[in-house]
Amino acid sequence: MRTETWLVLPALALLALTGCPGKLHDKEAFLAYEAEHAGAGAAPPGEAGAPAHMPETAGTSNTDSCGDVVARIFVPSCGGTGCHSATASQQDLDLVSADVASRVVGVSGKACLQSLADPQDPEGSLLYQKLLPQPQCGAQMPLARPPLGSADIACVKSWIAAQTPKP
């Protein structure tokens, strides 16, 4: 019995040391890349064999790599929680129905009196500010849910910047 214990303990120690493959630095970029290239056999960004056009920070500033921000981010994270949909629009803010831009660009927030989306100042826009850990006004969104990742926050900022300012 003593011999068996002596053999098992080093094996368990070796198994514990080899169990963790590492750390994923940008989960959102990895998942977005995987969704785009499912089954293509290509390497994810930042790994050997990854396409040269795929930067390691995919989805952080290029609106093309962000996809449809309204459908991919606003609908599930803001409207899907029952907070900012057509039927439950907290602060009179619907981020789900068609033509979101017409309801947010150049429009002031209700409780926080800054522009919801200002294409000339995306970082000062309330929609962007509310996604940060310590927004200038109110609480971080989405409320009572995990915060968005840095890639998705960058996509919201890019989406705001891509909108046409109201005259």
Determine, yes or no, domain membership for 39. Answer: no
pTM of model > 0.85: no
Mean pLDDT, the chain, whole residue set: 75
> What pLDDT score was predicted for residue 109?
93
**Higher per-residue pLDDT: 85 or 138:** 138
Specify if 36 maps to a domain.
no
Q: Could you read off the pLDDT of 90-112 as tens digits, one per residue?
A: 898 999 999 999 999 999 999 99
Residue ranges making up the domain that contains 144: 63-162
In contact, 43 and 50? CB cutoff 8 Å? yes
User: Does any domain span residue 7?
Assistant: no
Total domains in the chain come to 1
Inside any domain, residue 126: yes
pLDDT attached to residue 116: 96
CA distance 140 to 36: 29
Within a domain: 79: yes
Give the model confidence (pLDDT) of 22-67 as tens digits. Answer: 444 555 555 555 555 444 444 444 444 333 333 333 333 445 689 9
Nearest to 166 by CA among 74, 103, 84: 103
Residue 147 lies in a domain: yes
**What values do phi and psi take at 119, rounded to 5?**
-60, -25
Please check whether residue 146 lies inside any domain of the structure. Answer: yes
pLDDT at 34: 52
Residue 157 pLDDT grade (very low, low, confident, very high; cuts 50, 70, 90): very high
Number of Cβ within 10 Å of residue 45's Cβ equals 21
Residue 126: pLDDT above 90?
Answer: yes
96, 73 in Cβ contact below 8 A?
Answer: no
Q: How many CA atoms lie within 13 A of 152 on its CB side?
A: 25
How would DSSP label each residue in the chain? Answer: -HHHHHHHHHHHHHHHHHS-----S-HHHHHHHHHHTTTS-PPPTTSTT--TTS-TTTTSS-HHHH--HIIIIIIIIIITTTSBSSSSBGGG--SSSS-HHHHHBTPBPSSS-SBSB-TT-GGGSHHHHTTSSS-SSS--SSTTSPPPPHHHHHHHHHHHHHSPPP-
Say if 122 falls within a structural domain: yes
